[in-house]
Amino acid sequence: MSFGIIHYGEMPKILYLTMDDVKSAGLTDEDFINCISDSLWQQSLGKVDLVPRMSITLHPDAYLNAGAGWVEKLGAVGFNWSSYYPNNRGKGLNQYSGMIVLSDIKNGLPYVVMDGFYIISKRTAAVTAVSAKYLARKDARTIGIIGVGVQGRENLRMLQLVLPHLDLVKIYDINPDAAKTYIRTMSDEFRGKIVPCRSVEEAVTDVDILITATVVTEKPAVQIKDEWLPERGSFIAPLDLLCLIGRETILRMDKISTDNCTQLKTLERGFSFSGRVPQVCAHLDELCAGKRIGRESDEENIMAINFGLALHDIYIAKKIYDVAKELEIGTWLSPLTW
């Protein structure tokens, strides 16, 4: 018995974009911030769909994450797949890796696979910047940054675009060489002064904005005492999901914002909240759409606990794909077979 060839219609080729290809698309930091703002606006209109991040833990403090999203405006649907393996550093490998896949909204077939690390790095910082636009003091001048890796750098780049009065950055990292590299890398990009600190306490004292960008762990240890922080007027963005910040600090916040309440509930691990999560004043998309008010006075202490949504990655990835096709960036792969 023989079987004839079954035709399923024209199968699209798949555009493969490496990290260098993604960078070559040329999106600026302002572009990333604008992409985040618009995707949040679309979210507030109900013109998107998103799936909260799902995580798999294979080793202590090592994660594989997946998330999906859809944006009606761009006709874009897809998912991201990322990993965090802190022990990779000792093997000469990146701690973070990931990819983003977009599929044709009409038939579900994939048409682009691209590196996700660069996009996620920029997206994370852009979300902080958008949060700060609504929640930080307009006259904020001083930032404290704990952890000066990729996010320590990207957050400074993005924040100075939305807070024009920033002129001092106090940094701390457990690795003194990392702090030296940070100063060498960022001194030409930041308009103000960068000061290395000898302790966490020194780095967080008298700052208007605090960014913590350290390792996310299942068993966090509080390293920032509430008494070190300003009594009033602060904006805090714990990118490491509260691994350094104690319960006292969290519970004295006047407002807490997040990009996703569902994911915020996953922090009910007892290490900070003793079984409860502080009340959230607004989703980030509500702030962007003007449905909720952000900072109302210079006296408020406000925290933005953002997790990162695949929705934002999909939005940015579609923009990059369109530019890559126009500029003929990337490598075309044969379509998937049945």
Asked if residue 313 lies in contact with residue 120, where contact means CB atoms within 8 angstroms, the answer is yes
> HSE-up of 46 (CA within 13 Å, CB side)?
0
Average pLDDT on 256-275 reads 68
- Domain residues for the domain of 28 are 14-119+311-333
- Considering only residues 89 and 16, tell me which one the structure prediction assigns the higher pLDDT: 16
Per the CB < 8 A criterion, the answer to whether 171 and 207 are in contact is: no
| Domain-embedded: residue 295 | yes
Residue that wins the pLDDT comparison between 239 and 53 = 239
Backbone conformation region of residue 109, classed left if phi is above 0, alpha if psi is from -120 to 50, else beta? beta
SS3 assignment for the chain: CCCCCCCCCCCCCEEEECHHHHHHCCCCHHHHHHHHHHHHHHHHCCCEEEEEEEEEEEECCEEEEEEEEEECCCCEEEEEEEEECHHHHHHCCCCEEEEEEEECCCCCCEEEEEECHHHHHHHHHHHHHHHHHHHCCCCCCEEEEECCCHHHHHHHHHHHHHCCCCCEEEEECCCHHHHHHHHHHHCCCCCCEEEECCCHHHHHCCCCEEEECCCCCCCCCCCECHHHCCCCCCEEEECCCCCCECHHHHHCCCEEEECCHHHHHHHCCCCCCCCCCCCCCEEHHHHHCCCCCCCCCCCCCEEEECCCCHHHHHHHHHHHHHHHHHHCCCEEECCCCC
**For residue 127, is pLDDT > 80?**
yes
Shared domain for 206 and 102, answered yes or no, is: no
The residues pairing with 54 across neighbouring beta strands, listed in sequence order, are 66
pLDDT class of 55 with cuts at 50, 70, 90: confident
Question: What was the pLDDT predicted at 276?
Answer: 52
- Asked if the structure places residue 4 within a domain, the reply is no
Same domain flag for 169 and 235: yes
pLDDT at 305 over 90: yes
Mean pLDDT on 128-149: 98
Residue 263 has pLDDT above 80, yes or no: no
Same domain (yes/no): 85, 164: no
Q: How confident is residue 17, by pLDDT bands cut at 50, 70 and 90?
A: very high
| 1 in a structural domain | no
pLDDT band at 230 (very low <50, low <70, confident <90, very high): very high
pLDDT band at 137 (very low <50, low <70, confident <90, very high): very high
pLDDT for residue 56 is more than 50: yes
Question: Which of 17-31, 108-122, 259-273 comes out lowest in average pLDDT?
Answer: 259-273
Q: What is the pLDDT of residue 79?
A: 96
* Res 277: pLDDT: 53
Please report the pLDDT score of residue 9 as a whole number. 56
Decide if 201 is inside a domain: yes
* Mean per-residue pLDDT of the chain: 91
Q: Quick check: 166 pLDDT over 80?
A: yes
CATH number at residue 265: 3.40.50.720
Residue 220 is predicted with a pLDDT of 81
The CATH number of residue 111's host domain is: 3.30.1780.10
Percent of the chain with pLDDT over 70: 92
Q: pLDDT above 90 covers what percent of the chain?
A: 75
The pLDDT-based confidence of 3 (bands split at 50, 70, 90) is very low
> Using CA atoms, how far apart are residues 306 and 258, in angstroms rounded to an integer?
5
**Are 61 and 111 within one domain?**
yes
Average pLDDT over every residue of 122-135: 98
Is 80 exceeded by the pLDDT of residue 121? yes
Beta strands 302-305 and 235-238: pairing type?
A: parallel
Mean pLDDT of 151-159: 98
In a domain, 220, yes or no: yes
Position 338 scores a pLDDT of 61
Which of 22, 32, 16 is closest to 162 using CA atoms? 32
Task: Report the side by side order of strands in the sheet with 235-238.
Answer: 193-196, 168-172, 142-146, 209-212, 235-238, 302-305, 255-258, 282-283
Any domain includes 126: no
Q: What angle do CA 91, 93, 94 make, to 5 degrees?
A: 140
Backbone angles phi, psi at 93, to 5 degrees: -110, 160
154 and 107 share one domain: no
pLDDT at 89: 79
Residues 245 and 327 in one domain: no
My answer on whether 73 and 186 are in the same domain is no
Q: Are residues 294 and 325 in the same domain?
A: no
Number of domains forming the structure of the chain: 2
322 pLDDT tier (thresholds 50, 70, 90): very high
Q: Per-residue pLDDT averaged across 105-122, rounded?
A: 95
Give the count of beta carbons closer than 10 Å to the beta carbon of residue 214: 22
Within this chain, do residues 194 and 287 fall inside the same structural domain, yes or no? yes
User: Mean pLDDT, to the nearest integer, of 229-254?
Assistant: 94
Please report whether residue 100 resides in a domain: yes
Banded model confidence at residue 278, pLDDT cuts 50, 70, 90: low
